[in-house]
Structure 1
Amino acid sequence: MAKLSKRFWFQLHGWFSLPVWVLFCFICVTGTISVISHELTWLTNSQARASNPDNLPEQSKQALIDSLIKEHPTADVMSVLSYEPYLVNAIIFTDTDKPYATAYVNQYTGEVQAVYQTTSFIEFMRTLHSWLYFPWQEGYSVGYYLVSAMAFVTLGALVTGLIIYKSFWRAFIQPKIRFNQGSKTLLKDLHTMGGVWSIWFMAIMSLTGLWYLAQAIMWHNEIDIEEHAPIVSEAQLPSASTAKAIDLDSAISITKNQFSEFTPTYIMLPEHNRGMYSIMGAGDTIFYDGYAYSTAINPWTGEIASSKSPETMSTLQTLSHIADPLHYGTIGGIWTKIIWFLFGVILSGMSITGFMMYSKKLVKAKLPSPVTINDTAEAN
């Protein structure tokens, strides 16, 4: 009975990896690359680097927009994104000959270093990893469901693996990888060692993946996690056509007065006269993403129409804003990114070694045994 039980768990463990191993491995690899997509962008694209040899202070967001307008006078700016200090700011805009474009503007020199009409590498990798570029329709994407459903695969592989390898803690105190006992033993040792040391990582990937799945279901059923952006009421619109709205820098300054140590990361400009400045950013909390602090600023009155911070979030909003830092390892900057990247490589490798081990097991099970061959010979 014990053998049957162990065989059952082994087969279940294998089926958590074998049927979907290609998709699972692909998602692991793209996620691993996404973790260091900012750093890879800096390494491979010189136009995305925010060089600052003269140690100049960072210019205001309005000054960066003005730099773009000088080169593209008819540009209609929609939003401004800030990444790492070593990467340029990205200004999203439209123009008469550009239905959608991104300008890379150096925040220290104000220079427009490049204008692209294609998706950035960072956005490409996140999209590929998150929903496989499946289209969104009616609030859902099949790709997003497929990717987030891999949380069950990760969790199932973790649980069944721990059941099979009951004394898993020995891999911590007596690690062993046998290189001289054949490929089967080597694969088993590599898979076991990687699995044991990745228990914490697989648990985080499983839990955050389950949250992404729950989030997808809520989006699909029109359950709002974040409040809709407010608009300026008709009564607050200026009566004179010559009235001037406050500029972006003033709106950012108002937000900084609202939150201490606020750093803007994503800014949406008003789309029409009833639109507001939507300003999002990071604060002094490490477990929240770069959009945990936000305000909606009335451009005509300078009033804060709505605001959000970790202290005022609902439970669902909190989960939404802590999932990405845990999933992509941004909680501690470059050092945690390196750790997440290394364990992402291990998890990707485990999906491959697991497939190889299980496929060898299936091939061996299909081969005729010596007894069967002898019996057949005697019968003839």
Structure 2
Amino acid sequence: MAKSSRPNRQWWFRLHSWAGLKFSLLMFFVSLTGTLAVFAYEIDWLLTPELRVTPQPAASARPAGELLAAAHRANPEWTITSLNLELPSFMAAEAIARDPAGELQRIYLNPYTAEVIGVAPWFNAHRFLRQTHRHLMLPLKWGLSIVGLLSIPLLLSLASAFPIYKKWWRGFRKTPKGGDTPRRWWGDLHRLLGVWSLPFIALIAITGLWYLIERWGGAAAPASRLLPEYASTSQPRGAPTLTRAIDQALAQNPEFALKHILLSEGKPLLLQGQATALLVRNRANTIAVDAHSQRIVGQVKGEQLTAHQRIAEAADPLHFGTFAGYTSKIVWFIWGMAMTLLSASGVWLCALRLGSRRTGPAPTAAWRQIGRSRWLQLALILLSLGLSLPFIIA
């Protein structure tokens, strides 16, 4: 009888071990920074007193025009480029500005009093976690490509797990029992984390692959291209003018929730936010307003986008879990920690397998099993941290 040419369970196990082990160092680092990035602003809230405010009802928030005017008054020589209104009620509103030296700065404003609370450098925990996770602090094209390529071994790990773990659907209720060896306990834990993380791993792998495709020519045309070309006069700085322009635009779009404002000299105000389209970034819903004439000069709605653009706009909300506030963020954080532990527990299982009952685990042997790529992965991690150091010290 001819031997079947179909891959057997041992073949799938070797593929799973290769995909999980050979890229484990970088996978662990990228997973950890991405997981922490889910709560990056909350980490900044702990580290930055100026970001803290006493929460009040949303109805007591001051108009966005007043916040912009206050930021201009406090720093008249600075060029305000954006205002972030999306932070939780216990955090300040955040204006991004460029000082006379050309450096980016953050201006924190109390959203309930329109008072400037303080100023902080642009580079903070949020930027550190996002940039190390997204592109390892390297030039964007190459760093994002390296991180995006991790989606391939992640997909291989996911696909190979099913032939290895027979009747895997029963694993949702199997807690680690251990038995007579630590290897069994860690194996049970690895499988438990794996089955509960299946949808998250698939989502992260697919969106990660999408980011790689975008970087190498598959990006959709930005939604802003649907806005007409319109030249405006210099941006006004007075609260009444800004407030009237923004309020009139919002009154014409009652379903629109303002989250972000972009400012550029000689161009209209760009109001960005959420409306009726599901799973899109704020930029997918943009209202262009001439602040002097109080007139809407262009508008884009999420429903107008092509299928290609909708896929592009859904990638970030799905990848970072920002689409349902703290509910989705907490779930994404838990899933992210599980994925991070999967990388670590896979390496530890290798150390246990290569060891013995008498000598215990063999971490040195597991380290060697990663192969020569371990030095490149370690170098990339250290380089990423090293490139962040000047910003942290400053």
For Structure 1 versus Structure 2, the TM-score category normalised by the shorter chain is 0.7 to 0.9
In 2, Cα distance between equivalents of 1:210 and 1:126 = 17
Q: Show the counterpart of 1:262.
A: 256
Equivalent of residue 278 in structure 1, options 270, 274, 295: 270
Q: 1:97 to 1:142 in 2, by over 3 A?
A: closer
Q: Deviations over 1:314-362 (max 9, x none)?
A: 1122112222221111222112211111111111001111122234445
In 2, Cα distance between equivalents of 1:120 and 1:214 = 29
Is 2:182 aligned against 1:183?
yes
Equivalent of residue 130 in structure 1, options 123, 134, 156: 134
Equivalent of residue 29 in structure 2, options 13, 19, 26: 26
Q: 1:71 to 1:298 in 2, by over 3 A?
A: closer
CA contact (8 A) 2:245 2:292 kept: no
CA contact (8 A) 1:278 1:297 kept: yes
CA contact (8 A) 2:134 2:147 kept: yes
More displaced stretch, 340-349 vs 247-256: 247-256
Equivalent of residue 253 in structure 1, options 228, 239, 247: 247
Q: Deviations over 1:221-279 (max 9, x none)?
A: x863434465425xx879xxxxx9x943334234324433322222112323xx22122
Q: Among the aligned pairs, what percent are the same residue?
A: 26
CA contact (8 A) 1:56 1:108 kept: no
In 2, Cα distance between equivalents of 1:305 and 1:54 = 32
Q: Show the counterpart of 2:144.
A: 144
Q: Show the counterpart of 1:224.
A: 221
Equivalent of residue 95 in structure 1, options 99, 121, 141: 99
In 2, Cα distance between equivalents of 1:55 and 1:232 = 33
1:144-163 → structure 2 map (5 Å cutoff) = 144-163=144-163
CA contact (8 A) 1:286 1:332 kept: no
Q: CA deviation at 1:285?
A: 4.9
> Structure 1 stretches of 5 or more lacking a match?
239-243, 368-380
Q: Show the counterpart of 2:80.
A: 77
SS in 2 for 1:339: helix
CA contact (8 A) 1:231 1:276 kept: no
More displaced stretch, 97-106 vs 333-342: 97-106
More displaced stretch, 298-307 vs 111-120: 298-307
CA contact (8 A) 1:329 1:336 kept: yes
| Rg comparison, structure with higher value | 1
CA contact (8 A) 2:224 2:300 kept: no
CA contact (8 A) 2:223 2:283 kept: no
Q: Show the counterpart of 2:54.
A: 51
More displaced stretch, 311-320 vs 249-258: 249-258
Is 2:12 aligned against 1:15?
no
Q: Show the counterpart of 2:42.
A: 39
SS in 1 for 2:308: helix
Q: Show the counterpart of 1:113.
A: 117
Aligned Cα root-mean-square deviation (Å): 2.9
In 2, Cα distance between equivalents of 1:194 and 1:296 = 46
Q: 1:254 to 1:149 in 2, by over 3 A?
A: farther
Equivalent of residue 292 in structure 1, options 263, 284, 288: 284
Q: CA deviation at 1:43?
A: 3.3
Equivalent of residue 326 in structure 1, options 298, 318, 326: 318
* Residue correspondences, number: 349
> Structure 2 stretches of 5 or more lacking a match?
360-394
In 1, Cα distance between equivalents of 2:344 and 2:81 = 43
Letter in 1 for 2:345: T
In 1, Cα distance between equivalents of 2:128 and 2:248 = 33
In 2, Cα distance between equivalents of 1:81 and 1:158 = 37
Q: Could you say which structure has the greater relative contact order, defined with CA pairs below 8 angstroms and 6 or more residues apart?
A: 2
Q: CA deviation at 1:146?
A: 1.4
Letter in 1 for 2:125: F
Q: 1:313 to 1:223 in 2, by over 3 A?
A: closer
Q: Show the counterpart of 1:67.
A: 70
In 2, Cα distance between equivalents of 1:31 and 1:127 = 10
